[in-house]
């Protein structure tokens, strides 16, 4: 971008060794470039001084000229605060500090003309400002326009580094830098009307006007997303162009026989469409990497099975991995039942498979007589070797890391097709960035005859009503889940815990058997308790969120979630998915304290209004931010974004994705392909000059040098 961009920050006028170390430690600013990309988090209008009398409650950050009349302290110890009475000559207001009290008291003399910057807060009839920036008034400084405010750490403030200091340093840098070469190709800038990089950087630090600031922010946000998409798509395209996959030309005897003689119900249209999508992937010679999203109960297992049949019909083997033993066993039970009548061999391999049986399985895998293997992590152990593995299904993928996925891929010369199934709906924008390397199929339809789960919000003081409703369901032979946020009591959090409530539940529902499951139990004990519920021997299961994934007990019709206010939306949705699997009306009861924040109430109300996982996932992302979404952390690919947000920039994500894809198609050398671009494929494709390619390659290297995950899986 700029030749001196990598220059150590200590060489900038006004920095030096000591400050360089501070900037590096506190703000991760090491070079000239890092400083240029250290953007203000907001801007203050410094074109005029505001009068206290003109304050309004919704006012942004403003500057006020005046003086401190006196200081005094309130509160004790950690709660102590310093208050100053400030006047602009006409009115007075309070200024408050909660920390650095001593320094501040000594820093600002009384009755000297000062300028404060801050946001007025309206509280109990008067205005105050907390932690303003303070400067001495200098009548010789001309009025300025918008000025950036930079986030700083306590330590930097102690060492006298303020927002103003950063501004001055950036100013010094611009004095020194004659030109900044753009890192986005001219053609792309032109197509999307982007502000050139040098103007954008200047305007984000020192905007000439609000309009220029907006254009600058938009350009830099585009840049951020554009490079993320280039980064992801580069691997996808490289893989697609270099890795061959198994070609399955035919749908054969097993698939057809199953479809016409065994299939116990009609496939939904969504299931049919997804099977077609998968089928066409596997015909191309490309290796399939597909994410299958479908709400709980949408029938993903059947899709997985029919997909595996295509592999079997083409004389290869298939394997299905589940995150827990219980889930693996449930898949095995369904699939074995479907496979048996058509003569397809299926075995189950888990941690508790006996040695003798394990040996048999290993042998039949190697000699090719075993068609489908179902299991837990056990299937990716070193000693499990396949004769010809060509299809891998991974259920509930967020429990499997990228590396485990990669491990399976290397089991064979030709990598198998991979189908990753998840019941955690991921908003489209998130999928495009987090799982950008996967194609996505969606089952957006439930099998017919399902009644949506009725969801109710109930407060602790209505508990008796809930108990009566549960008794009614139990008396009809239904089963009930009760989920707690905690296993043990915790004095600090006044939450209900499983341990504390277990006896309670037993006493409240006499004559019914209660089993329990939580994350601190040994695996076999957990399985045993789970089995009690699956078999119907136990009527009530008290549990923590360990039951979240996959368990299928169609007779269970009530899900009670205690302290529902403590759970995220996606988690509540997952839990609710445990009921509503049979033909009868099911209920999900969210128990909450009556006193909750309004945002919390809003969240719980979304649950009562929608059963659509995608609607809930979108709402969840908007409320909590994409960084906290389930699956985001585990994926290890949560890109660190400064300007863009996955929650609110969906449109720009889509635009940059298309732009990045077009650019790569026109310039395959960017992802290392040797073939020249398809000549005839359109007029909008722009070929880059070698130097433009170089700039992009360097930029990608710079931005993503630490991100190794993608290269592992490509
Ligand atoms: P999930 O997508 O949550 O994994 P499952 O595959 O466990 O859902 O399916 C839930 C239930 O619905 C199973 O009992 C399954 O046999 C049944 N099912 C799947 N597809 C259909 C269909 N098209 N019609 C009727 N029932 C179906
Ligand atoms: Mg499932």
For the chain, which residues make up each domain, given as ranges?
48-143, 253-282+299-422, 454-610
CATH number, domain 48-143, options 2.40.50.140, 2.170.8.10, 1.10.240.10, 3.40.1640.10: 2.40.50.140
Q: How far apart are CA 366 and CA 384, in angstroms?
A: 9
Task: Give the pLDDT mean for 193-217.
Answer: 93
Task: Identify the residue with better confidence: 580 or 38.
Answer: 38
Band of residue 506 on the pLDDT scale cut at 50, 70, 90 = very high
pTM higher than 0.75 for the full model?
no
250 Cα to the center of ligand 1, angstroms = 26
Residue 667: its pLDDT value, please?
92
**Closest Cα to atom 10 of ligand 1:** 297
Q: Is the pLDDT of residue 80 over 60?
A: yes
Pocket probe mutation, ligand 1, options 258, 275, 299, 332, max atoms within 8 Å of Cβ? 299
Per-residue burial over 417-445, b = 16 or more CB atoms within 10 Å of its CB, e = otherwise: bbbbbbbbbbbebbbbbbbbbbebbbbbe
Q: Report which protein residue has its CA nearest ligand 1's atom 24.
A: 447
Nearest to 533 by CA among 517, 550, 548, 522: 517
Q: Confirm or reject: Cβ of 557 under 6 Å from ligand 1.
A: no
Residue (of 371, 397, 130, 195) closest to 289 by Cα position: 397
CA of 247 to the centre of ligand 1 (A): 28
> What is the model's pLDDT at position 637?
47
Q: In DSSP terms, which residues pair with 527 in a beta bridge?
A: none
DSSP string computed for 512-537 = S-EEEE-TTS-HHHHHHHHHHHHTTS
Helical spans, DSSP H, in 92-251: 101-107, 154-158, 163-176, 186-192, 197-205, 210-242
pLDDT confidence of 499, banded at 50, 70, 90?
confident
Q: Does 147 sit in the ligand 1 pocket, CB within 6 Å? A: no
The C-alpha atoms of residue 92 and residue 86 are separated, in whole angstroms, by: 5
Q: Which of 118-122, 334-338, 633-637, 659-663 has the lowest mean pLDDT?
A: 633-637
As beta bridge partners, residue 49 has 63
Contacts of 290 (CB under 8 A, 6+ apart): 277, 278, 281, 417, 418, 419, 420, 438, 439, 440, 441
296 Cα–ligand 1 center, Å: 9
pLDDT-derived band at 403 (thresholds 50, 70, 90) equals: low
Q: pLDDT at residue 712 above 50?
A: no
The helix (run of H) or strand (run of E) holding residue 608 is helix 598-609
| 247-265: pLDDT as tens digits | 998 888 999 999 999 999 9
**Identical fold, 253-282+299-422 and 454-610:** yes
Q: Which whole number is the average pLDDT over 305-318? A: 96
What pLDDT is attached to residue 714?
Answer: 33
**Distance from the alpha carbon of residue 396 to the mean position of ligand 2, in angstroms:** 8
Q: How far apart are the CA of 376 and the centre of ligand 2, in A?
A: 14
Segment 8-21 shows an average pLDDT of: 93
HSE toward the beta carbon, residue 418, CA cutoff 13 A: 22
For residue range 144-191, what is the model confidence (pLDDT) as tens digits? 778 888 988 888 988 889 888 999 999 999 988 877 889 999 999 999
Query: What is the band of 679 on the pLDDT scale with cuts at 50, 70, 90?
Result: very low
Question: Ligand 2 centre from 504 Cα, in Å?
Answer: 32
Q: Is the pLDDT of residue 442 over 60?
A: yes
Confidence category of residue 680, pLDDT binned at 50, 70, 90: very low
| Ligand 1 atom with the shortest distance to the CA of 302 | 6
> Using CA atoms, how far apart are residues 432 and 442, in angstroms rounded to an integer?
14
Asked if the model's pLDDT at residue 630 lies above 60, the reply is no
Ligand 1 neighbour 422 (Cβ under 6 A): no
Average pLDDT, stretch 11-34?
A: 93
How many residues are present in the chain?
A: 714
CA quadruple 692, 696, 697, 701: dihedral, nearest 10 = 150
Mean pLDDT across 691-707:
84
For residue 326, name the pLDDT band (cuts at 50, 70, 90). Answer: confident
- Rounded to whole angstroms, the Cα distance separating 19 from 31 reads 12
Which atom of ligand 1 is least distant from the CA of 552?
A: 7
pLDDT at 307 (0 to 100): 97
Annotation: CATH topology of 253-282+299-422 = Rossmann fold (3.40.50)
pLDDT at 548: 60
Predicted local distance difference test score (pLDDT) of residue 355: 93
Superfamily the domain 454-610 falls into:
P-loop containing nucleotide triphosphate hydrolases (3.40.50.300)
Compare 354 and 449 and report the one with higher pLDDT.
354
- Classify the phi-psi angles of 368: left when phi > 0, otherwise alpha if psi is within -120 to 50, otherwise beta: left
For 353-383, the pLDDT digits (tens) are 999 999 999 999 999 999 999 998 888 787 8
Low-confidence winner among 71-80, 163-172, 313-322, 666-675 (lowest mean pLDDT): 666-675
Q: Are 313 and 254 in contact (CB under 8 A)?
A: yes
Q: What is the pLDDT of residue 261?
A: 95
Cβ of 267 closer than 6 Å to ligand 1, yes or no, is: yes
Mean pLDDT score across all residues of the chain: 85
What does the pLDDT read at residue 51?
Answer: 93
What pLDDT shows up at residue 306?
97
Strands 417-422 and 62-74: unpaired
* Distance from C-alpha of 306 to C-alpha of 258, rounded to nearest angstrom: 9
Q: Does the pLDDT value for residue 420 go beyond 90?
A: no
């Amino acid at each position: 971008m700029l030749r001196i961009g990598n220059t150590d920050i200590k060489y900038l006028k006004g920095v030096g060794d000591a400050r360089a170390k501070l900037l590096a430690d506190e703000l991760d600013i090491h070079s000239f470039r890092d400083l240029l990309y250290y953007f203000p988090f907001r801007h203050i209008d410094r074109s005029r001084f505001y009068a206290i009398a003109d304050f309004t409650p919704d006012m942004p950050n403003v500057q006020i000229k005046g003086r401190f009349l006196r200081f005094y302290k309130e509160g004790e110890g950690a709660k102590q605060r310093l208050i100053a009475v400030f006047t602009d000559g006409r009115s007075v207001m309070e200024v408050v500090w909660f920390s650095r009290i001593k320094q501040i008291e000594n820093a600002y003399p009384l009755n000297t003309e000062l300028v404060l910057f801050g946001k007025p807060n309206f509280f109990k009839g008067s205005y105050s400002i907390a932690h303003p920036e303070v400067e001495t008034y200098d009548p010789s400084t001309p009025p300025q326009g918008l000025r950036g405010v930079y986030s700083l750490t306590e330590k930097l403030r102690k060492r006298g580094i303020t927002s103003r200091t950063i501004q001055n340093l950036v100013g010094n840098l611009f004095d020194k830098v004659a030109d900044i070469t753009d890192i986005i190709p001219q053609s792309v800038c032109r197509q999307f009307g982007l502000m050139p990089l040098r103007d954008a950087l200047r305007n984000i630090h020192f905007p000439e006007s609000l309009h220029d600031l907006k254009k600058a922010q938009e350009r830099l946000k585009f840049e951020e997303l554009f490079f993320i998409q280039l980064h992801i798509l580069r691997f996808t395209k490289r893989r697609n162009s270099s890795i061959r996959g198994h070609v399955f030309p035919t749908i054969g005897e097993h698939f057809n026989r199953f479809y016409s003689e065994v299939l116990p119900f009609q496939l939904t249209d969504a299931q049919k469409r997804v099977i077609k999508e998968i089928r066409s992937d596997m015909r191309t010679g490309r290796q399939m990497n597909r994410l299958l999203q479908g709400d709980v109960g949408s029938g993903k297992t059947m899709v997985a099975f029919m997909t595996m049949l295509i592999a079997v019909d083409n004389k290869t083997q298939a394997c299905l991995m589940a995150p827990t033993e219980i889930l693996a066993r449930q898949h095995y039970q369904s699939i074995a039942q479907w496979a048996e009548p058509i003569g397809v061999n299926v075995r189950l391999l888990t941690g508790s498979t006996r040695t003798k049986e394990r040996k048999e399985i290993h042998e039949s895998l190697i000699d090719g007589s075993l068609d489908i293997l179902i299991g837990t992590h056990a299937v990716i152990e070193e000693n499990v070797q396949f004769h010809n593995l060509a299809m891998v299904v991974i259920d509930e993928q967020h429990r499997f890391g990228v590396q485990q996925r990669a491990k399976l891929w290397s089991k064979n010369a030709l990598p198998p097709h991979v189908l990753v199934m998840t019941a955690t709906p991921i908003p489209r924008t998130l999928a495009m960035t987090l799982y950008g390397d996967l194609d996505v199929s969606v089952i957006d339809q439930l099998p017919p005859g399902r009644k949506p789960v009725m969801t109710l919000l109930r407060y602790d003081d209505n508990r008796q009503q809930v108990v009566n409703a549960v008794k009614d369901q139990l008396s009809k032979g239904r089963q009930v889940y009760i989920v707690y946020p905690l296993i043990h009591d915790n004095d600090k959090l006044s939450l209900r815990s499983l341990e504390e409530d277990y006896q309670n539940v037993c006493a409240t529902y006499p004559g019914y058997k209660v089993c329990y499951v939580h994350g601190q139990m040994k695996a076999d004990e957990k399985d045993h308790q789970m089995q009690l519920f699956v078999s119907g021997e136990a009527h009530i299961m008290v549990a923590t969120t360990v039951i979240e994934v996959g368990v299928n007990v169609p007779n269970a019709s009530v899900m009670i979630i205690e302290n529902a206010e403590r759970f995220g939306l996606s988690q509540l949705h997952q839990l609710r998915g445990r009921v509503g699997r049979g033909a009868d009306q099911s209920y999900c009861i969210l128990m909450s304290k009556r006193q909750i924040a309004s945002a919390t109430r809003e969240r719980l109300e979304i649950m009562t209004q929608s059963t659509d996982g995608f609607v809930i996932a979108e709402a969840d992302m908007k409320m909590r931010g994409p960084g906290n979404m389930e699956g985001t952390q585990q994926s290890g690919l949560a890109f660190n974004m400064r300007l863009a947000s996955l929650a609110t920039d969906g449109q720009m994500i889509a635009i940059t994705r298309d732009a990045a894809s077009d650019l790569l198609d026109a310039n395959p050398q960017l992802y290392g392909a040797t073939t020249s671009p398809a000549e005839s494929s359109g007029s909008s494709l722009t070929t880059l000059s070698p130097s433009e390619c170089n700039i992009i390659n360097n930029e990608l290297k710079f931005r993503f040098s630490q991100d190794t995950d993608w290269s592992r899986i490509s």
